[in-house]
Amino acid sequence: MTKALLLIDIQNGFCPGGNLPVSDGDEVVPVANRLMASGLYDIIVASQDWHPSNHGSFASQHRGKQPFDMGELSGQPQVMWPDHCIQDSVDAEFHPDLATDRIDFVQRKGENPKVDSYSAFRDNDQTALTGLADWLKAKGVTELDVMGLATDYCVKFSALDAVDMLPGVTVHLIADGCRGIDPQGVEEAIEAMRQAGVEIIDSSRIGL
Ligand SMILES: [Zn+2]
In the residue annotation, 65 being an active-site residue is answered as no
Question: Across residues 129-153, what is the average pLDDT?
Answer: 98
pLDDT at 176 > cutoff 80: yes
User: Residues 63, 178: contact at Cβ < 8 Å?
Assistant: no
Q: Assign 3-state DSSP to the chain and report helix, strand, coil percentages, each to 5.
A: 30, 25, 45
Catalytic residue check, 9: yes
The predicted model gives 81-89 an average pLDDT of 98
CATH of 3-50+85-205, one of 3.30.70.2080, 3.40.50.850, 3.40.190.10, 1.10.3720.10: 3.40.50.850
Is the pLDDT at 22 greater than 90? The verdict is yes
Catalytic residue among 9, 83, 145, 161: 9
Average pLDDT over residues 67-73: 96
**pLDDT at 56 > cutoff 80:** yes
Residue 88: is its pLDDT beyond 90? Answer: yes
Exactly one of 3, 49, 109, 161 is catalytic; which is it? Answer: 109
- Domain extents in the chain: 3-50+85-205
- Position 205 scores a pLDDT of 86
Q: Walk across the sheet containing 170-179 and list its strands.
A: 105-109, 43-49, 3-8, 143-149, 170-179, 199-201
**pLDDT tens-place string over residues 23-51:** 999 999 999 999 999 999 999 999 999 99
Q: Ligand 1 mean position to 202 CA, how many Å?
A: 26
Q: How far apart are the first and last CA of the chain?
A: 15
Give pTM, 2 decimals: 0.97
Q: What's the pLDDT score for residue 208? A: 65
Predicted confidence (pLDDT) at residue 207 exceeds the cutoff of 80? no
CA 1 / ligand 1 centre spacing (Å): 33
- Ligand 1 centroid–CA 110 distance in Å is 6
